[in-house]
Amino acid sequence: MDQQRAGETARILVEALPYIQRFSGATVVIKYGGNAMDSEELQNSFARDVILMKAVGIHPVVVHGGGPQIADLLKRLGKESSFIQGMRVTDGETMDVVQMVLGGLVNKDIVSLIQRNGGRAIGLTGKDGAFIRAKRMKLRPSGDDPSVGADGLIDIGQVGEVESIDVSVLDMVVKSDFIPVIAPIGVDEQGRSYNINADLVAGKVAEVLQAEKLILLTNVAGLKDKQDNILTGLTAERVEALIDDGTIYGGMLPKIGCALEAVQSGVQSAHILDGRLPHAVLLEILTDRGIGTLITR
C-alpha cells in the first residue's frame, strides 16, 4: 500500500471512530433483499458490513425478503402467481412454497453468506418460539377488485400483518455473538403460518427492540423531491407534508410509512438506502455525509 492510500485509509478510520463510539451497544435493524442480493459483490459487501458492525459492538439484526425467489419457484412448479393491490394472493400451496423459500433457501443462504465472510449468524422465522404473532390481512376494495367478502374486505389468503413480537426471543440472540437473520413468516394462535411483508416486520422488530436505527435497503438512491434531488435529514412532520403534497407516492409510500411509524414508535432514526451500492450500510452509519434518506423524530 503506497503512502497516499495508507493516509486515506487512516482518514476513513478516524472519521468512523466517533460513530463507532456513539453506536457501540446499539441495535440496528436492516431490511435486506431485492437489488442488494443481485450480485456476489453486493452480497459479500453486505455480509462484511454487518460483521464489522458486530465486531465494533453494534448489534445488527437482519430481516430479509425473497419475492423474486418465491416467484421463480412457483413458476418452475407450474403455479401462476396472482396479485391484488400489489400483494401476492397466498393459498395453502403458495404458503408452502413461501415457507420453503424464505425459511429454508433464502434464510440459510444469508446465514451461510455471513459465516463464509467470517461472522456468526443464526436463522430464524417468526414461527421459532412463536415470536412473531400474526393475523390475517384483509384489503379494503380499490376500484374493480374481485372477491369482496360479506365484510366488505378482500381476503388474499395467508398474508399476514404483525400482531405482536416476543422481544425475549430476540434479546437472547441479539445479545449473543450471533447475528440474527429473520425470515418474515408469522404464526397465529391456531398455528397457521402467514407471509408478511419484510419491511413491515423490520419496522416492528426495530420498534420492540427500541433500535437506534432502522435501515431499509431498496433499489433507489433515496427519497427524491420533484426536481430529482435526494432528500435527507427529514423529520416525521416533514415526511407527512411530502406525502400530502404528492412528492411521496406509489411504491415508495409503504416503505416511507414503515419508516415513519418506526420513528414515531421510539426508533431513533430510519434510513432508506440504495442497496445497489457496495457497503451502503457502513457508508450511511459510519461516515460524515451518509448516502441515503434519513428520517428522525
Annotated binding site: 66-67, 88, 195
Would you list which residues are annotated within the binding site for substrate?
66-67, 88, 195
Cα(183)–Cα(51) distance, integer angstroms: 19
β-bridge pairing 213-218 and 179-183:
unpaired
Q: Give the span between the Cα atoms of 162 and 194, in whole angstroms.
A: 10
